[in-house]
């Protein structure tokens, strides 16, 4: 069964950058769609970005479009595939716990919905200070 391990969170200043990583061990056909979600205190989990493994097609929430970039590294020589979230021009409202997720299908309907993802990472805290 696959597992997602996140890293790269931390503290950044307004306008700064952070890069999150999500390593998928034992990737399988059930991880064709990879997404990043975030959850701030007292808020619901919200979609940030998604990417399809095969085509590399991407999609972003309006709130991060132009500032965040999702990408993937299909490491054929080892057993791990990695997805990244490069976050630039950070704002205080980006402060949240960020979660990596994997699901079996990338589509207009599934990519933004948490219920469409079967695997989740443990979350990594991102704090943006002004």
pLDDT digits (tens, 9 = 90+) for 19-51: 999 998 776 778 889 999 999 999 999 999 999
Instruction: Encode pLDDT of 84-123 as tens digits.
Output: 999 999 999 999 999 999 999 899 989 999 999 999 999 9
Place of tokens 């589509």: 107
Handedness of CA 116, 111, 80, 124 (dihedral sign): negative
pLDDT score for 81: 82
Residue 79 clears pLDDT 60, i.e. is over it: no
pLDDT value at position 25?
Answer: 78
Query: Please, which pLDDT band fits residue 52 given cuts at 50, 70 and 90?
Result: very high
Mean pLDDT of the chain: 91
pLDDT at 76 over 70: no
Please, how many CA atoms are within 13 Å of residue 15, restricted to the half-sphere of its CB?
Answer: 1
């Amino acid at each position: 069964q696959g597992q997602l391990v996140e890293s790269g969170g931390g503290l950044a200043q307004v306008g700064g950058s952070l890069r999150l990583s999500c390593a998928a061990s034992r990737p399988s056909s059930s991880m064709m769609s990879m997404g990043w979600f975030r959850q701030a205190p007292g808020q619901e989990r919200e979609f940030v970005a998604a990417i399809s493994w095969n085509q590399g097609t991407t999609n972003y929430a309006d709130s991060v479009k132009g500032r965040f970039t999702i990408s993937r590294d299909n490491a054929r020589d080892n057993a791990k595939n990695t997805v990244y979230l490069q976050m630039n021009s950070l704002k205080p409202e980006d402060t949240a716990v960020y979660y990596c997720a994997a699901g079996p299908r990338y589509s207009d309907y599934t990519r933004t919905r948490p219920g469409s993802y079967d695997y989740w990472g443990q979350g990594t805290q991102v704090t943006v200070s002004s």
